[in-house]
Amino acid sequence: MSMTFRVEAYNLSHASENRIHDDATAQRFGFTGGLVPGVEVFAYCCHPAVERWGRDFLRRGEIAVGFQKPVYDGRVATVTATPEADGLALAVESEGVACASGFARMPEAPAPTVSLADWLAVSPPETRPKASDESLAPGLWLGTRALELTPQVLADYLRDVREAAPLYTEQGLAHPGLVLRMCNWLLTQNVLLGPWIHIGSKLRFHSEARLGESLTARGRITGNIDRKGHRIVTIDALVLADAARPVARVTHDAIWRPRQVAEVG
């Protein structure tokens, strides 16, 4: 039987550098208003998976979510999770529009061992170059500054994604949306972007992120392609707790230059 989770979507990024979350800019791109970040729509999708598998999902689960249409601030988003043979098929709709789809599962085998020696540790530049085919070239390594998982950071995020499951506060765990946010930082802390759009992510969890730890991410650009006029970057990322313990391996896709920008340029 399908499970549903309804949430009043909230745009955490009204004032962010990415103006696609600003109403006026988004409307110039043909949207109704500012887009709720994909990271938060992903966070909504995690709710039924954690409800089904509990803390184990944050330790070794797998989830992939792709975003097709925007979810808007203040509108109700409904996540439907339909059991299938090896997991949960996920669908997000808002006001009758299909916005996102994905799949979550609990693999039988543990996540493959990660050697940190294979993941170059770099710091974000003091002065970010403009996003371009050169600054986002395949093969380049990216890094982030640390996110300290303080009680306030964890509580604020749970409030903002309307997550009421007691697991996070009772056991001092970070919401997986915060884990994925680190992959956005691989872009925003390394290049100067115009309006950009997160279009999908696939995560394999290795361990939980916990209160009192710090999160960082390391990533290598594996693709920078043109698709229907959009320039799309793909990052193979590793999120770490305290710069040492793998939390999640992520494939992260984003339109770094929408075709609307290219057409104006």
Q: What is the mean pLDDT of each run of 10 residues along the chain (265 residues)?
A: 90 54 50 76 97 96 96 92 96 96 95 95 96 98 98 96 95 97 97 92 98 98 94 98 98 91 51
**What's the one-letter identity of residue 96?**
G
Residue 35: predicted pLDDT? 75
In a domain, 112, yes or no: no
Residue 19: predicted pLDDT? 44
> Tokens standing for 89?
């098929």
Q: Is the dihedral of CA 161, 166, 171, 172 positive or negative?
A: positive
In a domain, 132, yes or no: yes
Residue 33: give its domain's CATH number. Answer: 3.10.129.10
In a domain, 203, yes or no: yes
In a domain, 125, yes or no: yes
In a domain, 260, yes or no: yes
In a domain, 131, yes or no: yes
Q: Which residues pair with 202 in a beta bridge?
A: 64, 251
> pTM for this structure?
0.91
Q: Is the dihedral of CA 114, 220, 90, 12 positive or negative?
A: positive
Residue 265: predicted pLDDT? 45
In a domain, 114, yes or no: no
Q: Which domain holds residue 227?
A: 3-107+119-264
Q: Based on the structure, what is the number of domains in the chain?
A: 1
In a domain, 113, yes or no: no
